[in-house]
Amino acid sequence: MKRLMVLCTVILIGLTTACEESHSEEPLHELKSEVKVSQAKTIAKLKEQGYEIFDYVDEETGDTIIMQQYFLAFLKRGPNRDQPKAAADSLQALHMAHLGRMYELGYADISGPFGDDGDIRGITVYNVPTLKMADSLANMDPMVKAGRLQIEMHPWWAAKGFSLR
């Protein structure tokens, strides 16, 4: 949030300076309108594509924050984990290719394993409109098909466009 505030401040300082140099506030007003339209277009596009969203205005910054429903897949230890090492290694390579493909196609935003040896092996955040679609994509994973992993899916809300720090 602080990074966003700093970026907005830098942009506004630059715009204010440009406006002072041209002795007109019209460009700043036009830009503010474009930003609002951009958020409105983003909201309309997400709704059109079937995403569940809501938005609110951040009291500190005045920015409109778009919250989107994502789907968090917990990849859990499956019942069939007795494959020979060569088969398990092959499945792991296919699993990684599947996750890479999900990312490349825009269906998944982030994936990764947990650092312990617990029953929950990793997570994937699916960026798709429906639980049914997320579940279907997650169950296409070769590790899931082979029974080495099972999927536990949960809807999860996060601010659209925010990144990890």
- Is the per-residue pLDDT at 11 higher than 60? no
- Is the per-residue pLDDT at 73 higher than 70? yes
Residues 32 and 99 in one domain: no
Give residue 38's pLDDT.
Answer: 83
In a domain? residue 141: yes
Residues 44 and 109 in one domain: no
Residues forming a β-bridge with 125:
72, 110
**Number of other residues whose CB lies within 10 A of the CB of residue 128:** 21
Quote the CA–CA distance of 91 and 83 in Å, as a whole number: 10
Number of domains in the chain: 2
Mean pLDDT taken over the chain: 84
- Is the per-residue pLDDT at 4 higher than 80? no
Residues 43 and 72 in one domain: no
Residues 89 and 126 in one domain: yes
Q: In the numeric block, which tokens belong to residue 53?
A: 């969203």
Residues 81 and 138 in one domain: yes
Q: In the numeric block, which tokens belong to residue 15?
A: 């715009």
What percent of the chain has pLDDT above 90? 72
In a domain? residue 142: yes
Q: How far is CA 149 from CA 74, 77, 108, 119, 140, in A?
A: 10, 5, 18, 10, 11
Residues forming a β-bridge with 122:
75, 113
In a domain? residue 54: no
- Is the per-residue pLDDT at 159 higher than 90? yes
Residues 100 and 144 in one domain: yes
In a domain? residue 53: no
Residues 146 and 73 in one domain: yes
pLDDT tens sequence across 26-71? 444 444 445 555 888 999 999 999 999 999 999 999 999 999 999 9
Q: Which domain holds residue 19?
A: 2-48
Residues 131 and 92 in one domain: yes
Confidence label for 163 from pLDDT (cuts 50, 70 and 90): confident
Residues 31 and 94 in one domain: no
In a domain? residue 165: no
Give residue 35's pLDDT.
Answer: 53
pLDDT tens sequence across 118-134? 999 999 999 999 999 99
In a domain? residue 60: no
Residues 83 and 136 in one domain: yes
According to DSSP, residue 67 is labeled: E
Quote the CA–CA distance of 154 and 43 in Å, as a whole number: 23
In the predicted model, what is the mean pLDDT of residues 3-28?
41
Confidence label for 14 from pLDDT (cuts 50, 70 and 90): very low
In the predicted model, what is the mean pLDDT of residues 92-105?
97
